[in-house]
Amino acid sequence: MAGHSKWANIKHRKAAVDKKRGKIWSKKAHAIIVAARLGGGDPATNNRLADAVADARAENMPANNIDRAIKRGTGELAGADPEELFYEGYAPGGVAIIVEALTDNRKRTAPDIKHAFEKHGGNLGQSGSVMHSFDRKGIIVIEKDNAPGENELLELVAEAGAEDLQGDEDGFTVTTGAIELEPVKKALQGKEIPWLSAELEFIPHQRMEVDEDTARKVQKLISVLEDNNDVQNVYTNHEPPESLVAELSE
């Protein structure tokens, strides 16, 4: 798929095992609250909530925590509702970055994000300064051991509306339009094919190659942003050199 890279695939797979439990539970709770607030508290009729709950369960989040998050979203429990925000800016070397956040206090989150950019050689931009260089796509990552043959998988996801399928030694990456993500997921579920991750992402129109020194600075900024409890995802258009990809994937 244009714009998706080997590093992006590695990032998905590492994310499944590298995140701290307390932090990831907090993020999953925020996602559940927003989903319940937007579409109601019944996962059977709210696909976004169903996905958020499934993601939380995959991280072994206790059922009581999930239930409380749903009730906060529907208003049954008191608590500030998090809102979904996007921050746009540039890392060292002019690398574009989109930060997806869920926060119950934007007066806390915005200065934290700005400080992270400035401390690590970047700058926070205006709304729209970066977004135009990305497309919103559905990305589904399937591990090889859980997938059928490539031809069979391609036929299945293509019929459901997928745009592309790429494979490597670890598995497959399915790309869909934003609207087609849910139909493709349902097609996979119908064949009992599990996925490692399935979510909407911002995919750059073009990848920007940077040297190793710049790539390390970019990666440091990304790591700092991802460590912020309000940050859900960080998207970038940079393509680090193979030497750094190999090091980070170990």
Residues 126-170: tens digit of each pLDDT: 999 999 999 999 999 998 888 888 999 999 999 999 999 998 888
Among 4, 1, 3, 10, which Cα is nearest to 246's? Answer: 10
Q: Find the range with the poorest average confidence among 24-33, 182-191, 204-213.
A: 24-33
pTM higher than 0.75:
no
132-143: string of b/e by CB count within 10 Å (b at 16+)? eebbebbbbbbe
Q: Which CATH architecture is the domain 6-74 placed in?
A: Orthogonal Bundle (1.10)
Residue-level length of the chain:
250
CB 101 within 8 A of CB 231: yes
Mention every residue, 6+ apart, whose C-beta is less than 8 A from residue 33.
69, 70, 72, 73, 81, 82, 102
Strands (E), the chain: 83-90, 96-103, 123-124, 134-143, 164-167, 171-177, 197-204, 208-209, 231-236, 238-239
Per-residue pLDDT for 18 more than 50? no
Q: Find the range with the poorest average confidence among 45-59, 77-91, 109-123, 218-232.
A: 77-91
Per-residue pLDDT for 94 more than 80? yes
Among 89, 35, 49, which Cα is nearest to 234's? Answer: 89
